[in-house]
Amino acid sequence: MRAVVLGSNPWSLRVTDDWPEPVAGSGQVVVRVLGVGICGSDLALASGRRRAPAYPWVPGHEAFGDVVATGTGVDQGRVGQRVVIEPNYPCLRCPACRSGRTSMCPDRVIVGFTAPGTLASLVPVPAPFAWPVPGDWADTDAVCAEPLTVALAAIRRSGAKPGSRCLVVGTGSQGTLLCVALAAYGITPSVLEPHDGRRELAVSLGATAAAPDATGFEIVFETSGAEPALTEAIRRAAPGGTVVLIGLGSEDTRVDTGLVVRRQLVLQGSLIYDHPGDFAATIESAIRSPGRVLRASYPLDQVSEAFRAAREVPGKTWIRLT
Ligand SMILES: [Zn+2]
Ligand SMILES: [Zn+2]
């Protein structure tokens, strides 16, 4: 089958036609992949900042497609079903999993990073991690389901309520999806983003640009992981406010703990989503057209161009496999 493979050199992406086809194991479905979104973690892998367990490696994790085969123990009626893939498989047995926080499972399988990714014609998926797509979702919405779930889980963990005064720091594709999700909660988020194109995209989807001196936000979402952005996020939070950290910072990121103490801020980390509640919430959510954050799509043959665009184009880039 066709697949994108990454070599051990940075950005060495190519398409191969003879990658081995998967078969549906017990409890699995095989999905014919139709589209894959590209996000910052894929770029980290392609650039070599993050290492794959082996090379050549199939990257990609934000995918949708059609079920084409079922393994033993899976309802054969699922063949033909359009699904989105939840690309993190927790063990479901450890204390973290049993407490409902599967995102913290130490044995979690991470598709595209610790297990082969979704930039392939066919991928095997544990059946409960292939979620049926609502009939009124366009392909462009389905390709955004995974990062949308990251956004919705962050909002759930933040305790935001309709009317909460929210700030989103950083409007890359994840920050922009957060704005779309907040709008569905009746919240018009303010945004702080130095890149004009990214800020304008978020504003065009219903956010407002924060005034240069705006402070007093009850909930601040920091999506970049960069130290200057974290500093701004903490500086602009209201007394007693919550700063939700979604961007993965580095070990030596500095935090003004004096300000955190004096303002009695809550720092809330938010890592992906918990199975099965968060994906179920996305599928049932009233959020429509998350695909509006997409700005560029490429056929599989142009995977290198797609990754290049994902670095430079505001909004999200995705790859079509049809
Ligand atoms: Zn992602
Ligand atoms: Zn576990």
Q: What is the pLDDT of residue 169?
A: 98
Mean pLDDT of 140-155: 97
Mean pLDDT of 149-174: 96
Sheet holding 237-245, edge to edge: 208-209, 190-192, 166-169, 217-222, 237-245, 266-269
Could you tell me the CA-to-CA distances from 311 to 9, 28, 212, 230, 305 in Å, in that order? Answer: 18, 34, 26, 21, 10
Which ligand has an atom closest to residue 89 CA? 2
Could you tell me the CA-to-CA distances from 129 to 57, 62, 100, 149, 263 in Å, in that order? Answer: 22, 12, 16, 13, 41
Mean pLDDT of 264-289: 95
In angstroms, rounded to a whole number, what is the distance separating the alpha carbons of residues 243 and 170? 13
Half-sphere exposure of 202 (CA within 13 A, CB side): 30
Q: What is the pLDDT of residue 288?
A: 75
Distance 107 CA to ligand 2 centre (A): 6
Which ligand has an atom closest to residue 113 CA? 1
Distance 109 CA to ligand 2 centre (A): 10
Q: 195 falls in which pLDDT band (50, 70, 90)? A: very high
Q: 250 falls in which pLDDT band (50, 70, 90)? A: confident
Q: What is the DSSP string of 15-68?
A: EES-PPPP---TTEEEEEEEEEEE-HHHHHHHHTSS--SSSSB----EEEEEEE
Q: Using alpha carbons, select from 140, 120, 108, 17 the residue that is nearest to residue 60.
A: 120
Q: What is the pTM of this model?
A: 0.97
Distance 285 CA to ligand 1 centre (A): 19
In tens, the pLDDT along 65-96 reads 999 999 999 999 999 999 999 999 999 999 99
Q: Is the pLDDT of residue 218 over 80?
A: yes
Query: Helix 173-184 to helix 145-158 angle, to the nearest 10 degrees?
Result: 60
Classified as helix, coil or strand, 124 is: strand
Q: Count CB-CB contacts under 10 A for residue 49.
A: 10
| Residues 176 and 289: beta-carbon distance below 8 Å | no
Residues near ion ligand 1 (Cβ under 5 Å)? 39
Distance 73 CA to ligand 2 centre (A): 22
Residues near ion ligand 2 (Cβ under 5 Å)? 90-91, 94, 97, 105
Q: What is the pLDDT of residue 184?
A: 87
Q: What is the pLDDT of residue 268?
A: 98
Distance 135 CA to ligand 2 centre (A): 32
Q: Indicate the DSSP class of residue 214.
A: -
Which ligand has an atom closest to residue 118 CA? 1
Q: 236 falls in which pLDDT band (50, 70, 90)? A: very high
Classified as helix, coil or strand, 98 is: helix
* Out of 96-100, 229-233, 250-254, least confident range: 250-254
Mean pLDDT, all residues of the chain: 96
Distance 205 CA to ligand 1 centre (A): 20
In angstroms, rounded to a whole number, what is the distance separating the alpha carbons of residues 120 and 280? 25
Q: What is the pLDDT of residue 141?
A: 96
Q: 252 falls in which pLDDT band (50, 70, 90)? A: confident
Q: Indicate the DSSP class of residue 104.
A: G
Q: Is the pLDDT of residue 260 over 80?
A: yes
Distance 314 CA to ligand 2 centre (A): 35
% of the chain with per-residue pLDDT over 90 = 95
Lookup result for tokens 């409902």: 100
Q: Is the pLDDT of residue 204 over 90?
A: yes
Q: What is the pLDDT of residue 130?
A: 98
Q: What is the pLDDT of residue 40?
A: 92
Mean pLDDT of 246-258: 89
Could you tell me the CA-to-CA distances from 196 to 145, 167, 315 in Å, in that order? Answer: 26, 17, 12
In angstroms, rounded to a whole number, what is the distance separating the alpha carbons of residues 56 and 53? 10
Q: What is the pLDDT of residue 185?
A: 87
% of the chain with per-residue pLDDT over 70 = 100
